[in-house]
Chains A and B, each alone.
Chain A
Amino acid sequence: MTPNELSAVGGERYDSAPMSSTIFTRAFDRRVRTLLAVLGISVVVGGAFGTHTLWQANLEQGYMPEQPIDFDHSIMAGKHQIDCLYCHTQAMKGPHAGIPTVSDCMKCHTEIQTKDAEGHLKKGIAQLNEHHRDKKPIHWVKVHDLADFAYFDHSRHLNTKKLANGEKIWCQTCHGEIEKMSRVSRVNSLKMGWCLECHMLPPDPEHSKPGETTLAPIHCSTCHR
């Protein structure tokens, strides 16, 4: 059929009209278009809403993986009041806080070989002894795992004198109440927005330099490079 023949079917004559408008009546056409438009808009809005919701969903917060040795911070840091820096020796000195080596653990645990009620070595200590005997490092599961493109530096935070609200940054500021955790979990999301909550605080008048508008730098290369 030629366009002319088609237009004859529709009862109207469009010399150079597109084919589609000649197949259906105008009213039907309008309905179809409206429907498509509504569908399209709802897909976009729904998609955006869904993505937004999922984006906000935080599976990182509360992450509490099982560790190779059931190490209990609530005993070490809580009951025995051992300073964090006693084991995480690099926290004030470099980017990584540092995990103690097996030989570091054994500095105390050569002596401290706690036994349970039945007189057996506690499971964790037995495991540690085994690692020490075989000179085998422990594969701890990373709880606070930042993306590779974010460069966090422990020392820069812990050496800060104090925040605008007069508080100092403690390990617990970001890691939560470690001294109460039997198994360590991630208390904060460690997302960029969360970082900025502190970084964008007004400057501490005592320690800030002239011209500083926020407590900490917020330009990209502070953390990304």
Chain B
Amino acid sequence: MISNEVPIHDDHVDPPSAAAMSRRTAMKMFSLTAMMGMVSGCIRKPTRHIVAMHDRPEYQQPGMPLYYASTWTEGSHPYGMLIKQIDGRPIKIEGLEGHPLNPNGKSTAQMQASLFGLYDPERLRSPQQGGQDITWPEADKAVADALRGARRVLVVTRTTLGPSEQALLARFRKAVPGAQHMAYEPAQDRDRRLAWQQIYGAAGEVTTKLENAKVVLSLDADFLGTDGDTLTNARGFAETRVPGAANFSRLYVAEGGMTGTGSSADHRIPVRPSTSAELAAGLLAALGGSSAALSASATKHGWDAKVLQALVKDLNANKGKAAVLAGPHLPAAVHGAVAQMNAMLGASGTTLGWNATPAAAIASAPADLAKAIAAGPEVVIFLGVNPVHDMPGADFGKALEAVPMVVAQGLTADETVSAATIALPAAHAYESWNDATVTDGVTGIAQPMVAPLFGGRQDADSLLAWTKALAPDDGALKATKDFHGFLQARWGLAQDKWEALLRKGYAGTAKNAALPAPREVAFPAPAAPAAGTHDVVLALHPQTVDGRFGGNAWLLETPESCNKVVWDNVAAMAPATARALGVSEGDWVTVEANGASVKLPVVPQPGVQKDTIVTHVGYGRTQGAGHGVGVGVNVAPLGSGVVAGKVSKAGGDKYLIAKTQHVFDQNASVTDQPMERHIAISGTPKAYEAYRKDVPDGPDGKPLSFPDTQKHKLALTQIDPEVDYSKGHKWGLAIDLNKCTGCHACLLACQSENNIVIVGKEEVAVGRDMSWIRIDRYEAGPEENPNILLQPMLCQHCDNAPCETVCPVNATAHTPEGLNDQIYNRCVGTRYCGNNCPYKVRRFNFFNYTGEQTTDPVQELRANPHVTVRTRGVMEKCTFCVQRINAVKFEAANKHVDVEDGAVVTACQQACPSDAIVFGDANVKGGLIETARGGDLAYHVLEEINVRPNVTYGARIRNAHPDLDDWKPGAHGHGHDGDKKGGH
């Protein structure tokens, strides 16, 4: 916590400031300001207008939110969405409750951040030919003319086409006989899907029901972060993370890099990805009763044999309640072994299921796409893909130069659109009609929220226009005006049924099929890693994914879940590896693989396996990514998945790496403080058991493992006894650290809800990030494999708030309902409050970061009108979503009823995929907050300083296997269940 505010690098970058001015100029400015200040009192403010529409749209009330059901089409899994719209502007995304994929109405970080893309000023505004603006009819004519004579045409789309888009594509291919279609994704689970196809005999995907699992093993599968149906995974996993409950699950993670899933693990084994086939085979044999191979491999690779023994024991003891998951980039042999393991464990139908119709088709191999281009098509059409930037391997842009006619449709003038003969602006997903195969038996529908802001047109409308031009005799299409019409005709519903469908957002019920019995497939054993090479993991980024959000500044400024780096992709490696290479943070390394070489800045990261280097794909954009241009390095030339690479030290100046958590050194005085001061509390089941039985835990019977928790409550006083909080509402928030997976959805929900600005890399580097929530990461234990505790930190709304007593202008004050209010129009920016805040959660606008967001007529639309947009010189911080509290209170008061506990839902709580956040009224007897505070693991951070915070945390129990739980009475030095020596 404290560490966040201590920047360690010396190259402090000063943002542009006013040029040095003389005293005389300063005096002039001063007197001018004073005069203007006086005069402004005498002048009426500018005239403003109220413009009511000519016709009021149905249901729309000025200033009141309207919610539309829709479907997320920008990711691999089509989650249900509820889009909040005020005065015709979509301003917030929420999950759709009751939807088959995310029934608890949760959403991913990317869904929350997607509104940035809609209002992105970078978006292409007009069709272009050779850099000149042309009209849509001109563009259509040019494309149709080219298609008419063409014998070979290639259409490249994303893999997640909806059923109606596919039907339209079939019509297009009928009209253009030479047309070939290829689905393209730069980094997807093609290899795993192909392996599953062989194993299970169909092109489906394995689904999870982790709520039924007691033991989960992940082999390099970041199932809580980037891999697969993350919302379903997180929901199921969180349901089993209740310490003391019968179904309290245990998560084992064997991974090369450090992921969010690995951070949530109870036992984590660093395993080099290229040896994972050996591990999988060894485990399979051990489950069958012969553990000799596993022991031999463990000795050979330095895996923790004790953990593996416990794992095998655990899996065998929990048949029917166990699941094994493997990451998409692992070799097919691993998936084969994993399928056998799951069959032995009886996972089918209980913890694992099968979706026969995944939303994403299996992508074409990059090599096949390159071959198709080399075959010399006359016309190539790219719809919503950017292979020129992200195609793994060879330089795709160069190959494309030989194609006479390249048509590319995209949101921005990205690398592919810029390389095209005809560049077309696409409509954003929230400006488009669409449908999507949600899961087996369910189809979702996506409806537009606004008319295209920049004159774009959705991909399907372009296809339709060209099909109509080429097949004028297609009777059914003749009457179809646009894709909306095509879609609606295809669904063939009466108007009332159609409207009911739009309100519901999806149709059908999920089949939830059981996992088929796996076939024995003899996959080739992967070659052992060559000496002198490292496994280079080209991973999906937890925020920007495969680079499709590479221009999304909200996501670029959201820290990578584990190393907290923003605005960059780096080479993360074990500290020991970095020392062996003679590099430290900010130095450069050269990574060579597949005949290509890339220079990356180094970030030493505890927990990464020593022969593994992790970096993220999708960075190094050169065009059409706005603030994302020039951010990071494009690693696509190295290939995709896991590649064997040579890593060597490269010269060059130290590179500035911006992190939201600064201290990652081995300074014990800094690192042990959070544990010793009981900020981050965690323990093992044995410690918890002792605590519950009142067994003295430390010397002299003092609480050591769980200090300051429910049983050892400190007797604290209220500074101002006049204030009586027991009447009316008393708002409180509770966060269960057992459930938090560090996915950052809360952070982006807050950003979208509360108009939080982005500040850029240099400002983050000097600790000026503006996010109202941060996920603090505590690492304890050996640097090779530390124990992790993640702790969301936000304004604690202290009853004895230290910030309030130091504000000279009363700009921060307490409400009778326990909120710590921040009044922007009263704040003069002394920053005393920020200095006096023990939690360091106050954020100051050092510059006018809002900038064009208030002057650009389009970006202005993105802001939530119910929250003030802040300007320079103003302090801000979490408000407990006071606008949401007021909305609920006002509605109840208008109806003359009481506010129900749980009726107020904060933005972070609404988004949290693992339901770790609870908000409510602490005065309600037996209510949500009282229950959370009454839990025996409940504690308040820094309780001993008597600020009386209103955010309650639930201490984390790392569910260590009984054989590995080394807790002994009095054996621990402090609250965190690791070694005395902090990893960080």
Q: Taking beta carbons and an 8 Å cutoff, which residues of A are in contact with B?
A: 50-51, 54-55, 57, 59-60, 63, 65, 90, 92-96, 98-104, 131-132, 135-142, 145, 147-149, 151, 153, 155-156, 159, 161, 209-212, 217, 219-222, 224-225
Contact = CB atoms under 8 A, between A and B. Distances in A.
Interface of B: 37-38, 41-45, 47-56, 61-64, 724, 727-728, 813-817, 819, 821, 823-826, 866-868, 879, 882-883, 886, 890, 893-896
Contacts of B41: 51, 54-55, 57
23 contacts: A51-B37, A54-B38, A59-B42, A92-B894, A95-B62, A101-B55, A102-B54, A103-B55, A132-B54, A135-B54, A138-B52, A139-B49, A142-B47, A142-B50, A153-B886, A219-B819, A219-B821, A220-B815, A220-B821, A220-B826, A221-B815, A225-B867, A225-B868
B730 to A, nearest CB: 11
Given A96-B62, A141-B49, A220-B815, A136 B823 contact: no
Nearest to A154: B63
B54 A137 contact: yes
Contacts, number: 141
Contacts of B866: 151, 225
Most chain-A CB neighbours within 10 Å: which of B52, B61, B62, B886? Answer: B52
Contacts of B62: 90, 94-96, 98
B51 A139 contact: yes
Contacts of A57: 41-42
A101 B815 contact: no
Contact of B48 (A138, A145, A225): A145
A153 B891 CA distance: 11
B821 A141 contact: no
B51 A224 contact: no
B30 to A, nearest CB: 13
B64 to A, nearest CB: 4
Nearest to A142: B48
Contact of A225 (B47, B817, B882): B882
B470 to A, nearest CB: 36
B47 A93 contact: no
B51 A138 contact: yes
Given A54-B42, A225-B886, 4 more contacts: A137-B52, A139-B50, A140-B51, A156-B893
A4 B252 CA distance: 86
Contacts of A50: 38
B821 A65 contact: no
Contacts of A99: 50, 52
Contacts of B814: 219
B819 A221 contact: yes
Contact of A155 (B45, B824, B890): B890
Given A54-B41, A60-B44, A94 B64 contact: yes
Lowest 9 A-B CB distances belong to which pairs?
A211-B727, A219-B815, A54-B41, A159-B894, A99-B52, A96-B62, A220-B821, A95-B63, A94-B64
Contacts of A101: 52-56
A135 B38 CA distance: 44
Nearest to B49: A139
A141 B52 CA distance: 11
Given A59-B43, A93-B61, A156 B890 contact: yes
B886 A222 contact: yes
A170 to B, nearest CB: 16
Contacts of A209: 727-728
B56 A103 contact: yes
Nearest to B725: A211
Nearest to B814: A219
Contacts of B43: 59
A211 B728 contact: yes
A155 B50 CA distance: 19
Contact of A221 (B52, B821, B890): B821
A61 B223 CA distance: 61
A224 B63 CA distance: 16
A94 B65 CA distance: 10
B61 A65 contact: no
Contacts of B813: 219-220
B341 to A, nearest CB: 53
Contacts of B824: 149, 224
A139 B49 CA distance: 6
Nearest to B867: A225
A95 B61 CA distance: 9
A168 B886 CA distance: 22
Contacts of B49: 139-142
A153 B47 contact: no
A215 to B, nearest CB: 13
Nearest to A209: B728
Nearest to A143: B50
Contact of A137 (B51, B61, B826, B868): B51
Given A155-B890, A224-B824, A161 B868 contact: no
A210 B727 contact: yes
A94 B52 CA distance: 15
B52 A211 contact: no
B52 A98 contact: yes
A51 B37 CA distance: 9
Contacts of B886: 151, 153, 221-222, 225
A211 B724 contact: yes
Contacts of A149: 824-825, 868
A221 B882 contact: yes
B731 to A, nearest CB: 11
Contact of B52 (A100, A159, A224): A100
B622 to A, nearest CB: 39
Contacts of B816: 211, 217, 219
B63 A137 contact: no
Contacts of A95: 62-64
B63 A96 contact: yes
Most chain-B CB neighbours within 10 Å: which of A57, A60, A131, A139? Answer: A139
Nearest to B48: A142
Contacts of B819: 219, 221
Contact of A153 (B52, B882, B890): B890
A43 B825 CA distance: 27
Contacts of B56: 101, 103-104
Nearest to A105: B52
A100 B62 CA distance: 11
Contact of A145 (B45, B55, B882): B45
Contacts of A94: 61-64
A33 B724 CA distance: 54
Contacts of A212: 728
A156 B841 CA distance: 32
A221 B890 CA distance: 13
B44 A93 contact: no
A156 B883 CA distance: 14
Contacts of A98: 52, 61-62
B514 to A, nearest CB: 50
Contacts of B61: 90, 93-94, 96, 98
B801 to A, nearest CB: 13
A138 B815 CA distance: 41
A225 B879 contact: yes
Contacts of B825: 147, 149, 224
A133 to B, nearest CB: 11
A102 B49 CA distance: 15
A23 to B, nearest CB: 23
A155 B54 contact: no
Contacts of A219: 813-817, 819, 821
Contacts of A100: 52
Nearest to B87: A96
A224 to B, nearest CB: 5
A103 B55 CA distance: 6
B456 to A, nearest CB: 24
Contacts of B55: 101-103, 135
Most chain-A CB neighbours within 10 Å: which of B61, B826, B867? Answer: B61
Nearest to B724: A211
Contacts of B896: 159, 161
